[in-house]
A and B are shown apart, each in its own frame.
Chain A
Amino acid sequence: MKTQILASTAAFALLAGAATADEVRVYNWSDYIDEELLAQFEAETGLKLVYDVFDSNELLETKMLAGGSGYDVVVPTGTFLQRQITAGAFQKLDLEQLPNHGNLWDLIKDVTAGYDPENAYSINYMWGSTGLGVNVGKVKEILGDDAPLNSMELVLNPDNMEKLAACGVHFLDAPSEIIPMALKYLGENPDSHDKDVIAKAEPVLTAVRPHIQKFHSSEYINALANGDICVAVGWSGDILQARDRAAEADNGVEIAYNAFAEGSLMWFDQMAIPVDAPNPEGAHKFLNFILDAKNMAAASNYVYYANGNIASQEHLVEDVIGDPAIYPDEETMSNFYITTPYPAKTQRVVTRLWTKVKSGT
């Protein structure tokens, strides 16, 4: 958060200056790339790269809809991308400027076409699922060896949560992911846009709310790795990064990521070019750089997220391509679900419910 605010302040200062043709401005999620790639891009293309980060789709969408964000490449998640395309926020990709476009994986393209018809506006950067990060040792110590480490029971059953509270539980501050999860837990359609169905999520979340230490979408990586919290509902790769940081620190903390046995939300982060990008040519260069098999593999090897680039797979390390938490087998895949964007009226209901859950008002 701190670096983020500093980064955005810096970005603002830069935006105040004139945009130049030899500069590309990228706005991506935090902890989402191997930073060496950024230096490599600058060296290869001679372009200056300004790289800022965010941790909420909502924030990105506000910037996109306000217009004049000054960014050349942004990375919204599929559902948000779909809505922003409708609002006219993006420009179509020029495939001639993307010779590496053929590296994309048809399997993923077919899914993302649901958000971006014919994939005309975006390329898939990475994809993953929303599930459970657990400090295996501590959770087992509290709940016993048969603790439901891969089930929503762990975080949505108040009995379990009450016991875990002292050890610390974080939830993503992302209503569009947590509410579908609560609906799935109830056996409802997680992608429901029906007000009455969505309302059913409220008592489920309110019941566990007193035991949730924080709703935040990036702090849990460090908190899990340091052993400050025991459980996080978070994004697959972020939790795997926490696992790795803990292993590197050798602090006796063992973190595991599990998709929900009940079914996890699968999401796709897409790179797109804003309609008013100051340097669309540079933006295409950046996308093409990312589409390069080796570069994409380097990014995935670093952040532990699967990507939509079939050619990159031969360069992936075994830790990534061979890990079913990252590249799930078909059976797990069939258990995933996806969501579609909420219309404005439903969005209001969702946000209101979220405020109510978080603040009790």
Chain B
Amino acid sequence: MMRRLFLISVPYLWLLALFLIPFVIVLKIALSDTALSIPPYTPQIDLSAGWEGLRTFFAALDMENFVWLTEDDLYWKAYVSSLKIATISTLLALLVGYPIAYGMAQAPQEWRATLMMLIILPFWTSFLIRVYAWMGILSQEGLLNQLLMGLGLISDPLIILNTNTAVYIGIVYTYLPFMILPIYSALEKLDASLLEAAEDLGCSRFKAFWLVTIPLSKGGIIAGSFLVFIPAIGEFVIPSLLGGSSTLMIGKVLWEEFFSNRDWPVAAAVAVVLLLILIIPIILFQRNEQKQREAE
């Protein structure tokens, strides 16, 4: 019994230490007001005053910052724009990632480990350096434009860097492995005899793919999509390095609140709302995982 309790408590302790406590701290800041002090918000908990201190502390908290978020359409637009960019990037990653995963699963057994290695290899280089490399590729004097102009395909350089296109390229590139790996693991387990059976029963190869392979890899597709969508929506580094000043994403707005306005409470409120938006897909993701496990 004790052992069981202990085993169950481990993930909950993990959740408490790495999610709940940080969240409560952020929420507390979101309910405070800015102040010119170190740290730049008020009230602070005054433990020396005992219960009285706690009471004045809670009395000073209010929802003002959340109300503020509804008053300026910047935040609303930034959330919507982030959702849009994350959704499109996820679809693109799926379009690119599925054929790669399929190809890997079809490859001879002895190649698979190597192919897997190739997918993981980019992680050995710093993420920041890889994004910088894209700046070198996409800029007006960059490799891509030089190549296209050298081949005579275009006469004027394409303007890609500092646009949303560059942001999509950056996100799809960065998160592609997270799409490929779960799909690959679903496809690898696929029983080839099911496809034979489908063809025996009169399915064309394409139809068999559509009716058998895709549904059986659904779990991988869903898992991969969430793994791309969730980090993409709050992405900050990629839009700030590859995007232009018209790229509106919530991560950048949060940065501005924090660094330009020095308004930690509003920055915290933006983060809390972002989390609430993300909780829905996260819960859906968890449900999907659970269903998968139950099915197995």
What residues of chain A have their CB less than 8 Å away from a CB belonging to chain B? Answer: 2, 5, 56, 58-59, 61-62, 64-67, 83, 86-89, 175, 214-215, 275, 344, 347-348, 351-352, 354-356, 358-361
Say whether A175 contacts B260, CB under 8 Å. yes
| A6 to chain B: closest residue by CB | B128
Chain A residue numbers with a CB within 8 Å of B246 are 359-360
Beyond A65-B38, A215-B245, A359-B248, 18 extra complex contacts between A and B, CB < 8 Å = A58-B260, A62-B258, A64-B38, A65-B262, A67-B39, A83-B36, A87-B36, A87-B37, A87-B38, A88-B37, A88-B38, A214-B245, A347-B261, A347-B262, A348-B261, A351-B256, A359-B246, A361-B77
The yes or no answer to B263 lying at the interface (CB within 8 A) is: yes
Assess the B259–A59 pair: CB atoms within 8 A: yes
B163 at the interface (CB under 8 A from A): no
When the two chains form the complex, which single residue of A65, A214, A355 contacts B256, counting CB atoms closer than 8 Å? A355
Name the CB-closest residue of A to B38: A67
Contact B259 A5 (CB under 8 A): no
Asked if A358 contacts B38 (CB within 8 A), the reply is no
B53 within 8 A of A: no
3 closest A-B pairs by CB:
A65-B40, A358-B245, A67-B38
Residues of A within 8 Å of B260, CB to CB, are 58, 175, 351, 354
Interface residues of B in 129-146 (CB under 8 A from A): 132
* A to B CB contacts below 8 Å, 22 in the list: A2-B132, A62-B258, A62-B262, A64-B38, A65-B40, A83-B36, A87-B36, A87-B37, A87-B40, A89-B38, A175-B260, A347-B261, A348-B261, A351-B256, A351-B260, A354-B260, A355-B256, A356-B74, A360-B246, A361-B73, A361-B74, A361-B78
B residues near A88, Cβ cutoff 8 Å: 37-38
Task: State in angstroms the CA–CA spacing of A89 and B247 once bound together.
Answer: 34
List chain A residues, Cβ under 8 A from B78.
Answer: 361
Give the interface centre of B37, B78, B253, B260 by most chain A CB atoms within 10 Å: B260
Q: Chain B contacts of A61 at CB under 8 A?
A: 262
Which residue of B39, B77, B247 is within 8 Å of A66 (Cβ)?
B39
Query: Cβ of B164 < 8 Å from any Cβ of A?
Result: no
Q: How far is the CB of B254 from chain A (nearest CB, A)?
A: 12
Q: Hey, which chain B residues are within 8 Å of A62, CB to CB? A: 258-259, 262
Give the size of the chain B interface in residues (CB under 8 angstroms): 25
B interface secondary structure, majority: loop
Complex CA–CA separation, A359 to B79 (angstroms): 15
| CB-CB contacts below 8 Å: B206-255 with A | 245-248, 253
**B110 located at the interface, meaning its Cβ lies under 8 Å from any Cβ of chain A in the complex:** no
- Give the residues in chain A near B73, CB-CB below 8 Å: 361
Contact A361 B34 (CB under 8 A): no
How far is A231 from B256 in the complex, measured between Cα atoms in Å?
Answer: 26
Q: Please give the distance in Å from A141's CB to the nearest CB on chain B.
A: 21
> What separation, in Å, do the CA atoms of A155 and B78 have in the docked complex?
30
Are the C-beta atoms of B74 and A355 separated by less than 8 Å?
yes
Tell me whether B38 and A58 are in contact (CB under 8 A): no
Please, which residue of chain A has its CB at the minimum distance from the CB of B128?
A5
Residue contact A344 to B259, C-beta cutoff 8 Å? no
Could you tell me the distance in whole angstroms from the C-beta of B253 to the nearest C-beta in chain A? 8
Shortest beta-carbon distance from B123 to chain A in Å = 18
Known: A86-B36, A351-B261. A359 touches B245 (CB 8 A): yes
For residue A63, which residue of chain B has the nearest CB? B259
B191 contacts A by Cβ under 8 Å:
no
> Would you call B74 and A352 a contact (CB within 8 A)?
yes
Residues of chain A with a CB closer than 8 A to B74's CB: 352, 355-356, 361
**By the criterion CB–CB under 8 Å, are B259 and A58 in contact?**
yes
Q: Which residues of B contact A355 (CB under 8 A)?
A: 74, 253, 256
Contacts of B256 in A (CB 8 A): 351, 355
For window 61-105 of B, CB contacts with A under 8 Å fall at: 72-74, 77-78
- CB-based nearest A residue for B77: A361
Query: Which of A2, A61, A62, A360 has the most chain B CB atoms inside 10 A of its CB?
Result: A62
**A84 and chain B: residue at smallest CB distance:** B36
Residues of A near B261 (CB, < 8 A) are: 347-348, 351
Among B38, B72, B247, B263, which residue has the most Cβ atoms of chain A within 10 A?
A: B38
Asked if B38 and A66 sit within 8 Å, CB to CB, the answer is yes
Q: Looking across the interface, which residue of chain B has its beta carbon closest to that of A1?
A: B241
Q: A323 to B73, alpha carbons, bound, how many Å?
A: 49
Chain B residues with CB under 8 A of A58: 259-260, 262
Within the complex, the shortest CB–CB distance from A326 to chain B, in Å, comes to 30
Q: How far is the CB of A115 from chain B (nearest CB, A)?
A: 15
Give the residue name and chain of the A residue nearest to B258 (CB): A62
Cα(A131)–Cα(B228), bound, Å: 45
CA distance A65 to B34 in the complex (A): 11
Q: Which B-chain residue is minimally distant from A358 (CB atoms)?
A: B245
97-134 of chain B: CB within 8 A of chain A: 128, 132
Kindly report which residue of chain B lies nearest to residue A5, judged by CB atoms: B128
Give the residue of B36, B247, B258, B263 whose beta carbon is less than 8 angstroms from that of A348.
B263
* Chain B residues with CB below 8 A from A64, complex form: 38
Q: Mark B255-280, 1 if CB is under 8 A from A, else 0.
A: 01011111100000000000000000
Q: How far is the CB of B58 from chain A (nearest CB, A)?
A: 23
- Within the complex, the shortest CB–CB distance from B262 to chain A, in Å, comes to 6
Measured between alpha carbons, how far is A277 from B247 in the docked complex, in Å?
38
- Closest residue to B261 on the A side, CB-wise? A351
Name, among A64, A351, A354, the residue most crowded by chain B CB atoms within 10 Å (CB to CB).
A351
By beta carbon, the residue of chain B nearest A86 is B36
Let me know if B72 and A352 touch, CB within 8 A: yes
Instruction: Write the nearest CB–CB distance from A274 to chain B, whole angstroms.
Output: 10
A50 CB, min distance to chain B CBs, angstroms: 21
Please report the C-alpha to C-alpha distance between residue A66 and residue B247 in the assembled complex, in whole angstroms. Answer: 28
Nearest CB of B to A108, in Å? 26
